[in-house]
Structure 1
Amino acid sequence: MARIIGLTGGIASGKSTMAKFFRDKGAAVLNVDAIAHHLSKPRRVLYKIYVQHFGEDILQPDGTLDRRAIGQKVFADKNERQWLNEHTHPILEHVMRQQIACMQRKNFPVIILDVPLLFEAGWDKMTEENCLVFVDEAVQLERLMRRNGYTEAEAQGRIAAQMPLTEKKQRADTFIDNNGSLEDSFSQAEKLWKEWTHAGIS
């Protein structure tokens, strides 16, 4: 039976890069953001929930969701963020559990749950072990502004909306310190992969 590992980290921590590393090693990677994006397409369940709640001013001219407009509403108001989590998390958990069951029927040594809000959503209950990818907050802020084109206030709002790094460190079982070089991060990930798959253990 495949081991189920939770992979989490603050926004712009480099978690996606580590997820790709593990996928290339042979893991099945379930990316909750990708699942949410799929369910947010026109006429799908999350799309309908968003439009019903926020109205059509969150739609782009082609009828798709304006994700940045939604983000601005959600990260500016904790009540909106709470509403969003209460209405989307049960749907996403249901889909993730379905996909985990599907992957368990296949010959994957490890199933990675790539989830930014792993602890916040309580989805660590679905995993056997949880790995935290982290960077210092100053690095995180700079990367987020550069990657997404956010203002400093927008970037800080998104960082503040997540569980503090100190608390995530207390709840995680293993870590990848991504403050250094990519080669160093991959070296840490390789060691974890060997532990998870018992590779090289006599």
Structure 2
Amino acid sequence: MDTSPSDPLLVALTGGIASGKSTVADRFAALGVPVLDADVVARELVEPPSTALEAIVGRFGTGVLQPDGRLDRRRLRERIFADPAERLALEAILHPAIRHTLRDRAIALPDAYGLIAIPLLNEASGYDWVDRVLVVDAPRAVQLERLVRRDGLSPALAESMLDAQLGRERRLALADDVIDNTGTPAELDAQVHRLHARYLELATGAHRA
């Protein structure tokens, strides 16, 4: 993207489900780094009344709503991961609005740099305006174990959710930087602090790509 000296360095934070993206984002936030989260924006966009929620109900029916009229996320999640066509239909509704909102908020950041947490980042996802990609990495077996334990999902559903995402090798191929999130909390902190110093250096403009 075109930048001026006052533009913040924008780092896309991504990784497979249950790789530890939120944990890493929290570590950066504790250092004073602003974090914009695609999942948070997605929740905002479907709060009733909203055009996004209306479009979701129009496509999936009222069965994806709770009694109070809000989106039943668990039911919708089970549905979209059981059928790739359903998942793509939901992405077509939400992703353009999420990208637009994130970009508007990111370029307005007053900080030297900021993180944008984007779980479904890929080669064609439309985030060519970020400066760097930081991938949080963990082996598939670790992701699966964390997902089943954390969310109480069946192994079959957890497997289907992992299968629906970008493969580990392709995700790592997108990375400018990688955090290995299979070690101790101290090891994770060391990686975050190293990258924080690096991003502050890059944000000065002297090393911007």
TM-score (norm 2): 0.90
C-alpha distance in structure 2 between counterparts of 1:9 and 1:155, whole Å: 16
- 1:101 aligns with 107
After the TM superposition, which residues 94-133 of structure 1 pair with which residues of structure 2 at under 5 Å, given as runs? 94-103=100-109, 106=110, 108-119=111-122, 122-133=125-136
- 2:140 aligns with 137
Contact 1:31 1:114 in 2 (8 A): yes
TM-score (norm 1): 0.92
Shift of 1:120: 5.7
Shift of 1:178: 0.4
Contact 2:17 2:143 in 1 (8 A): yes
Structure 2, gaps ≥5 residues long: 1-6, 205-209
- 2:155 aligns with 152
Contact 1:7 1:15 in 2 (8 A): yes
After the TM superposition, which residues 12-161 of structure 1 pair with which residues of structure 2 at under 5 Å, given as runs? 12-103=18-109, 106=110, 108-119=111-122, 122-161=125-164
1:89-115 per-residue CA deviation (whole Å, 9 max, x = no partner) reads: 111111111111321xx2x12111101
More helix by share: 1
Q: Note the aligned Cα RMSD (angstroms).
A: 1.6
Shift of 1:79: 0.9
C-alpha distance in structure 1 between counterparts of 2:136 and 2:38, whole Å: 16
C-alpha distance in structure 2 between counterparts of 1:45 and 1:187, whole Å: 43
- 1:190 aligns with 193
C-alpha distance in structure 1 between counterparts of 2:160 and 2:28, whole Å: 30
1:26-76 per-residue CA deviation (whole Å, 9 max, x = no partner) reads: 211110000001111121232111111111111112221110111111111
C-alpha distance in structure 2 between counterparts of 1:140 and 1:120, whole Å: 22
Structure 1, gaps ≥5 residues long: none
Report the 3-state secondary structure (helix = DSSP H, G, I; strand = E; otherwise coil) of the residue aligned with 1:167. Answer: helix
Which 4+ stretches in 1 moved above 4 angstroms? none
Number of matched pairs: 197
- 2:4 aligns with none
- Residues 153 and 86 of structure 1, relative CA distance in 2, 3 Å threshold: same
**What amino acid sits opposite 1:113 in the alignment?**
I
Report the 3-state secondary structure (helix = DSSP H, G, I; strand = E; otherwise coil) of the residue aligned with 1:198. Answer: helix
Sequence identity (%): 36
**What amino acid sits opposite 1:9 in the alignment?**
G
Contact 1:36 1:46 in 2 (8 A): no
Shift of 1:170: 1.1
Report the 3-state secondary structure (helix = DSSP H, G, I; strand = E; otherwise coil) of the residue aligned with 1:141. Answer: helix
Q: Which piece of structure 1 moves more, 55-64 or 114-123?
A: 114-123
- Structure 1 residue 6 and structure 2 residue 9: aligned? no
C-alpha distance in structure 1 between counterparts of 2:135 and 2:61, whole Å: 36
Contact 2:123 2:174 in 1 (8 A): no
